Structure 1
Amino acid sequence: MNLRLLFPLFDPTVKDWSLTARLMRWLTFLWLAIGMFVLFSASYYHGEVEKKDGLFYFNRQLVAIVISLFIFNAIVHSPLRKPLKVSHWILLGILVLLLLTVLTGMGQNTMGATRWIAIGPVQIQPSELIKPFLVLQGAKLFGRWEQYPTKVRVTWLVVFAIVLLAILKQPNLSTTSLCGIGLWSIAFAAGLPLRYLTGTAIGGGMVAGMSLMMHSYQRSRMLSFLNPWLDERGDGFQLVQSLLAIGSGGLSGRGFGLSNQKLDYLPIQDTDFIFSVFAEEFGLLGSLLLLVLVMSYATLGLLIARRAHHPVHRLIAVGATTFIVIQSLFNIGVAAGTLPTTGLPLPMFSYGGSSMVASLIQSALLIRVARESAEAKVIKIRG
């Protein structure tokens, strides 16, 4: 066993990587470090009141990070052909867990949604874990679209549809939308015919509309998003408290650890609305810097995709960048009141082991694409 996989922060091989791979690695670690500081502040009071331990959520997140970084470094040091070779089996395995979550009594219901399943003492969220494998399998399918027979194409499109419908069944419209957008982006980047892409987009919109018609709470969220102050103690409560937190941060914020709204006012402050705590403590300037971080990640991710020589690798970079950046913008947009209230975590900020594993796997895939693209430029000449 290579011991360097146990110490990803002190990897001696990094100096030999391409510049884009090194930048993505340090950008990921910077994002992760800021996220842990914010989670410490956002979760301490919550942990003290509920668990009699202010560090309860922080310590559990540290464990998730250690596990995630081990997987992260294993991917960074493995050829992409290895995860691509097993991605379909892992995706199907997680899909089984997803179906068990929503179709049997094994799923755990929290706040009206069945998104978690317990495996022994560990709770996992299949809809989060499946994201990087949707990226891998989507890149493999759409990147080799013309090479696959019709039967294989249709089979995997049906599998993707089952994944989306299973997530929608939880119900989880926001994650369904994110996964749909991610797969659509990969197909678009692969150059699939516009008629297919247009039809898929229209179909996705119709399914989302049907979900809104079937679930009254989703309609209520949509209406409260338009004017949360009409029902500030009911459906608009979360958004009102979030806006109060962001507004009270002012230009430079109250200071680290000094958020008032996290003290029994702002709900779900360590997951869905962790950005609100960040904005209250670091203000407009801190929020703008965080957006710069997200946009830098997006720019670097798309640059890695552009420089990739292999079409499947290019699509992996497009998919991983899309999932992480769009999810981040969704979370921030919800907290700021520019999008309807949803249940998407902020990558590498929000509390949750499944989300952390998924985010760091996607970052590792981006770094590996950058590494292999640079190595592909080296041509050995035999004399």
Structure 2
Amino acid sequence: MFRYLLPFYQPDIDQWSLEARLLRWLTFLWLLIGLIALFSASYAVGLDESQDGWFYFKRQGFWILIGLICFKIVTELPLKFILKYSPWFYLLILVLILGTVIGLGENVNGAERWISIGPIQIQPSELLKPFLVLQGATIFGTWQRQPWRIKGTWLGIFAFTLACILKQPNLSTTALSGMTLWLMALAAGLPYIQLLATAMMGMMTASLSVAINPYQLKRIISFLDPWQDARGDGYQLVQSLLAIGSGGEFGVGFGMSQQKLFYLPFQYTDFIFAIFAEEFGFVGSIILILMVITYGTLAFLVTLRCTHPIKRLVAVGVMIILVGQSLLNIAVNTGSLPTTGLPFPFLSYGGSSVMSSCILAGLLIRVALETYQQETFLINQKIT
């Protein structure tokens, strides 16, 4: 029985659609590249902090194993079953997020985004992402049929969730979550006037957050010209640009990054792409970006083939988070966007992030499988 939980054991793989098979192997490839990049980026820090260069690699490997088990479970369960219980998981994680707001969280670098459960530290806002997609798809996919009592309740829960994440403070995750819901609503065909009003409220909230939190304003100002204060507010971006520039065409070689040696902060989390670019160069970075774009293209094909409104929106939400967040992380590392705390899915260190990404990938594959099964059933019906 336990062999069915093994991520690489899939006896019915020949019955999967081409998109599902490609997405499955791309997920495994993405995770492998992430482990390779993380080992190099975190080795010096692990050696300095715990006298074990493999420290972060081993911890990430453990969480990847847990994530892959979740990935396998999600690909095997019917979406109807998952959607039935997703509201309860959403509300449970929302309670954990609320715990970080009322002072029960762990303060790391001035933000209370983590909660410790025994020896395990989790980031609830990361774990929420799959269930945010599922609930957004459920509400927006049945928008016309839902009474305003249900719609209003869940819109209020979404708004309260974003407010709690913003209070941590975590503007980047708040913005990503808000944009995901907004784009899903756009894909569902909600009235433009409602979408426009929501977008304006979101921009006003973001502006207010920047005005209240001086460090966010400093990030935006330093992003415009990081070299003006290269030893102060612009330091992190300058070091990231130096890492990327040092990589040249083919990189300095695996494990040979200089910026990871305590020059570039958060080199194994938010700025892991810069270390990757330094070691593998322009060519390696382009290959990584092409892999992400290929993943996004396959996800887009799944959305085009899917006719079920809720399942289609699930695929849209997964595509926005996994692909969009990756591109946003790259944009931050290259100085195209202000510095934010968004991790690179499957690459950056973090148990909550990698678990969330694995569940999201599993949901996308599940949509592809059920779409293919429906198409096969309809074809067989026509033949008979």
TM-score band by shorter chain is: over 0.9
Counterpart residue identity of residue 307, structure 2: H
Q: CA deviation at 1:4?
A: 3.4
2:310 — aligned with what? 312
1:191-230 alignment to 2 at 5 Å?
191-230=189-228
Asked if the contact 1:4/1:11 (under 8 Å) is kept, the reply is: no
Partner in structure 2 of residue 303 of structure 1: 301
Q: Deviations over 1:86-116 (max 9, x none)?
A: 1111000000000001112x11111111110
The percentage of counterpart residues that share the same residue type is: 56
Partner amino acid for 1:178? L
How far did 1:330 drift?
1.1
Q: CA deviation at 1:223?
A: 0.4
User: Partners of 2:332 and 2:127 in 1: how far apart?
Assistant: 22
| Distance in 1 between residues matched to 2:59 and 2:311, nearest whole Å | 33
* Residue aligning to 2:247: 249
Report the equivalent of 1:347: 345
- The structural deviation recorded for 1:15 is 1.9
- Distance in 1 (CA, whole Å) between partners of 2:4 and 2:149 is 40
Query: Unaligned stretches of 5+ in structure 2?
Result: none
Q: Which residue of 2 aligns with 1:84?
A: 83
- The answer (yes or no) to whether the contact 1:108–1:115 under 8 Å persists in 2 is yes
CA–CA distance in 2 between the matches of 1:21 and 1:36? 23
CA–CA distance in 1 between the matches of 2:42 and 2:4? 30
Give the secondary structure class of the aligned counterpart of 1:41. Answer: helix
Answer yes or no: is the 8 Å Cα contact 2:5–2:73 preserved in 1: no
Q: Which residue of 2 aligns with 1:64?
A: 63
Q: Which secondary structure state, in structure 2, belongs to the residue aligned with residue 117 of structure 1?
A: strand
1:324–1:347 CA contact under 8 A, matched in 2: yes
TM-score (normalizing by structure 2): 0.98
Deviation at 1:282, TM superposition (A): 0.5
Give the corresponding residue for 2:48.
Answer: 49
What pairs with 1:105-144 in structure 2 (closer than 5 Å)?
106-144=104-142
Structure-2 separation of matches of 1:82 and 1:72 = 15
Alpha-carbon displacement from aligned partner over 1:154-205 (angstroms, at most 9, x marks no partner): 0000000011011100111111000011001110110000001111111100
**2: CA distance, partners of 1:5 / 1:119:** 29
User: C-alpha displacement at 1:61, in angstroms?
Assistant: 0.4
Aligned residue pair count: 381
Q: Deviations over 1:30-55 (max 9, x none)?
A: 11111110000001111000111001
- Alignment partner, residue 233 of structure 2: 235
Divergent runs of 4+, >4 A: 380-383
Q: What residue is the counterpart of 1:16 in the other structure?
A: 15
Q: Does 2:364 correspond to 1:366?
A: yes
Deviation, 1:142, is 0.4
1:11 deviates by 1.8
Whole-Å separation in 1 of the counterparts to 2:102 and 2:112: 10
Over aligned residues, Cα RMSD in angstroms? 1.1
Counterpart position of 1:282 = 280
Letter aligned with residue 37 of structure 1: I
Query: 1:3 deviation in Å?
Result: 2.5
The aligned residue for residue 267 of structure 1 is 265
